[in-house]
Amino acid sequence: MKIYLDGKFVDPADAKISVFDHGLLYGDGVFEGIRLYGGNVFRLEEHLERLEYSAKAIMLDLPLTRKEFSDITCETCRQNGLTDGYIRLVVTRGVGDLGLAPWSCAKPSVFVIASKITLYPKEHYDNGLAIVTVPTRRINPAALPPAVKSLNYLNNILAKIEAKQSGALEAIMLNDQGFVAECTADNIFIVHKGELITPSSSQGALKGITRDTVFAIAKELNIPVREANMTRYDIWTADECFITGSAAEVVPVVKLDGRVIGSGKPGHSTLQILESFRRRVLVEGTKI
């Protein structure tokens, strides 16, 4: 296995960053989780655009151009002989003083990992996932904009711990108003009376790349889609539910908080969207 680190491809044992790197010390940095399907880096340009926006939001000057990031991402896949897999592209603030001040960091650090990932067992894609609502609330957008995909995921990790304690693989996080924000690592959708509904980014949801893909698929399938304030009640009484994410892809959800959603099986619209998604991942993006 080879990892790209600041201009070189190195073995995992040599892929080291300083203990003074502010990405480690303070979660000061940004990242993207990207998928590779059949030699196609799915929606790479969209991922790199989001990386640029996240970096701009936290005033982190990216050390490479979009073309350079694209070339490095593809080369990392080639170095590892991958045609299918998961890519983690990370930009840290870099080495600095022990204080918070980001201006003490002279140069950002970049690393890219390309490997395999299996987030959920296949049975959950076929039969659906049972999830729960956890007590940990999503950080208020006024405190940290959810559109910033930063290295600090402690909020989500606390929710993930609570999900595991409840015997679930994934969980819904509410915002401070009690509306559904997102899951610990995924966006969430419901189907209600033929309409596709998802929380807006203003409620604490990440502007997911897979989420955007589902919007495009819904338009293709003539399924009305809108963003709205959602409560747990809306999910309990929905006809269908599914979650989306680069790592998760599209996963049907058939139960929330012990309540069966719809028929208790993956719904027709969910399966249509999943089928279309699996076609798109092979052609929408950048060939390595």
Residues marked active site are found at 149
Q: Which of 128, 162, 161, 132 is nearest to 232 (CA)?
A: 132
Strands (E), the chain: 3-5, 8-10, 29-37, 40-42, 85-92, 109-115, 129-133, 171-174, 180-183, 187-192, 195-198, 225-227, 240-245, 249-256, 259-260, 285-287
**Cα 108 to Cα 69: distance, rounded to the nearest angstrom:** 14
Can you tell me whether residue 132 is helix, strand or coil?
strand
Token readout for 217 is 């698929």
**Cα 73 to Cα 4: distance, rounded to the nearest angstrom:** 9
Residues 132 and 168: beta-carbon distance below 8 Å: yes
Residues 240 and 267: beta-carbon distance below 8 Å: yes
The phi, psi pair for 214, rounded to 5°, reads -65, -40
> In this structure, is the dihedral angle defined by the CA atoms of residues 272, 207, 160 and 32, taken in order, positive or negative?
positive
Spatial neighbors of 195 by CB under 8 A, at least 6 apart, are: 223, 224, 225, 226
Tokens 């940004």: give the residue. 30
